[in-house]
Amino acid sequence: MSNMNRSEKIYIAGHNGMVGSAIVRNLQGKGFVNIITCSSSELDLTNSQDVDIFLQKEKPDYVIIAAARVGGIYANNSYPAEFIYQNLMIEVNLIHGAYLAGVSNLLFLGGSCIYPKESLQPIREEYLLSGHLESTNEPYALAKIAGIKLCESYNRQYGTDYRSIMPTNLYGPNDNFHPKNSHVIPALIRKFHEAKVNNEPFVEVWGSGKPMREFLHVDDMADASIHIMDIDKKTLESEVDPMLSHINIGTGTDITIKDVAQTIKEVVGFDGEIVFNTKMPDGTKRKLLDVSKIENLGWKPAITLKDGLKETYEWFLENNKKLRG
């Protein structure tokens, strides 16, 4: 049963980022015609007064929170204060501002780092808050957990319908390809591409290559987001509880960092060697989400990792040309 009207007003916070831009593409593809966006230069999401004024003026039917301060291990370790402050402020301002503006439907996007470091695998939603977090991104993870609990608390006290999804590791168009401040896939795409262009003999990959990771194309994640928003409340409540309402979004399969690096090497067409720098931290040994709830609600991903990596590399090449333009 469908929940959303195609003409209703939907505000996407963070529409220029990888996640937000994918959600905009997905909504447009599904025939939604009333999409509201506002760039960070026009609206500072960490300023509660500005957010309140914007939401009161626009009065959207739906708010989707795809705005966040994100990055890999290096960025999380280097800027922990910025990660916790900015992410807390963004979600507090948008969730409370939405409530004040009379917005009853909201989607909050978190991430799989919310789960304890030593979680049983695959990770079920109920493992949240059952152990210690991975120290490398603890400030970010705590902010995201607070976002879930904000949504649940507002639902319980105010009768809102604020939903949360927790995607696994994402990749795809509009990602951040910075060699140090980015996640594993974009960082490796850039490294292998530059090594190919410069005819370098090898590419260094941080860590041992042994950790297992699950990767989801951002267009699949966007499709899952709208699927969850579009489900009627009764159907959704058959799978979630008021104080355990977040839903994992993933593929249900994982791959070693070594195999990811090898696949990217093939996609890029780099002929040299791969060298693993074991002095760099590995992070969590394995991280695979249990996706039975989202599957029970009728959604599965459509893009294979190899196809997704090919498309992402093509996007990177086009973007690289534009940047050098």
- At 24-42, the pLDDT tens digits run 999 999 999 999 999 989 9
CB 109 within 8 Å of CB 120 = no
What is the average per-residue pLDDT within 197-220?
96
Nearest Cα residue to 297 out of 3, 36, 78: 3
Whether 292 has a pLDDT exceeding 80, the answer reads yes
Give me the half-sphere count of Cα atoms (radius 13 Å) on the Cβ side of residue 105.
19
Least confident range of 37-41, 58-62, 151-155, 297-301: 37-41
Pairing of strands 215-217, 169-171: parallel
CB under 8 Å to 259, separation ≥6 — which residues? none
pLDDT confidence of residue 88? 97
Given a cut of 60, is residue 323 above it in pLDDT?
no
Architecture of the domain defined by 10-324: 3-Layer(aba) Sandwich (3.40)
Q: Is the pLDDT of residue 325 over 80?
A: no
Q: Where are the domains of the chain?
A: 10-324
Is 154 assigned a catalytic role?
A: no
pLDDT tens string 1-28? 467 999 999 999 999 999 999 999 999 9
- The active-site residue, picked from 74, 99, 140, 154, is 140
* Cβ pair 266, 310 in contact under 8 A: no
Phi, psi for residue 144 in degrees, rounded to 5: -70, -35
Q: Is the pLDDT of residue 250 over 70?
A: yes
CB atoms within 10 A of CB 3: 16
pLDDT above 50 for 324:
no
CA distances from 50 to 47, 99, 104, 122, 281 (A): 6, 15, 20, 41, 40
The band of 266, judged by pLDDT with boundaries at 50, 70 and 90, is: very high
- CA neighbours within 13 Å on the CB side: how many for 79? 13
Measure the CA–CA gap between 183 and 70, rounded to whole angstroms: 9
